[in-house]
Amino acid sequence: MSKELKIGLIGIFLIALLIWGINFLKGKDIFSSNDYYYAVYENIAGLEKSSPVYLNGYKIGMVENIALSGDNMRNITVKFFIRDDIKIPHNSKVVIYSSDLMGTKAIKLDITGKKKYYQPGDTLPSVLQQDLTERLYAEVKPIKNKAETLIASLDSIISIFDENTRNSVQNSLNNFDTTSKHLKNSSAELDKLLTSNASDLEQTLQNLESITSNLDQNKHNITNTFSNISEITDSLKGSNMTATLRHLEQTLSSTDSILKKINRGEGSAGLFVNNDSLYNNLNKTTEDLDILIKDIKENPKKYINVSVFGKNK
């Protein structure tokens, strides 16, 4: 092999290595097989060549080229490639989105569940997703417009007031500021109070937790107790309580009538209760009977004389 041939082969190898290295740095593997697709946008929001293509957060390809197209160059055609072992179902979308907080743009595939697939070289539906700043601005903008309108209305209303009214409004605002300061001081005092009594509050919470734990442990007994109470109430409901209470009311009424008659001195019980003479006579009779019994015990022959052989005298 001549020296010139060796130099030529080495040069070809170095050029091939340079080409491979450049593509490798760009994220493209020239030795792998890829499929190319297209997407058309009105605005690519800063998407660049070599931007990655993701599927569920996994990099499967890269943007190959970006070019103006359409009438008056109003559209932008994005050419990208993905691995040839990945098929894209119909109605899937090519979405440009912000891949980080710095707003770096990338492409992600929003895959559907259809079983028909696009062919390499097809143009896929495209979507431009708003980044975080744009979404925040879109949400805040209506509030900003309403606030500006409200301020303008308040300014117009205040301008038609006289000086006294404006002074009153200013005083109200000053009072509101004072009130807010008082609220701030109160919240600070409340925070100090909670901080100083943190241990007591913690103990109270622990006690509450203990009570709830005991209730949970005894829920079976509590359930049985309420079941027994329910059975008692059902039994009382089933029993003839109305008739019983009516009979008890009649009995109490009769007892009250008897007591009234006794108080009026009617009947033997009334006389006994209200007439002292009957009590005294009964007491005197009892004393005489007691004396008689004692005398009979002491002198039985005086009252009883029995003869076995002869006739009593």
Q: What is the pLDDT along the chain (313 residues), one digit of tens a residue?
A: 788 888 888 888 888 888 877 766 666 655 567 889 999 998 888 888 888 999 998 899 889 899 998 777 889 999 999 988 889 999 999 999 988 777 788 999 999 888 899 999 999 999 888 766 666 666 777 787 788 787 877 776 666 665 667 677 677 777 777 888 888 888 888 777 777 777 777 788 888 888 888 888 888 888 888 888 887 777 766 666 677 778 888 888 888 888 887 777 777 666 666 767 767 777 788 888 888 888 888 887 777 665 555 555 4
- With a CB cutoff of 8 Å and minimum separation 6, the contacts of 94 are 37, 39, 78, 80, 107, 109, 110, 124, 125, 126, 127
Cα Dmax for the chain: 191
CA distance 209 to 214: 9
**In this structure, which topology does domain 32-129 adopt according to CATH?**
Elongation Factor Tu (Ef-tu); domain 3 (2.40.30)
Q: What is the dihedral of CA 165, 171, 173, 178, to 10 degrees?
A: -170
CA distance 195 to 188: 10
Is the pTM higher than 0.95?
A: no
Domain ranges, ordered by start, for the chain: 1-31, 32-129, 135-174, 197-239, 241-303
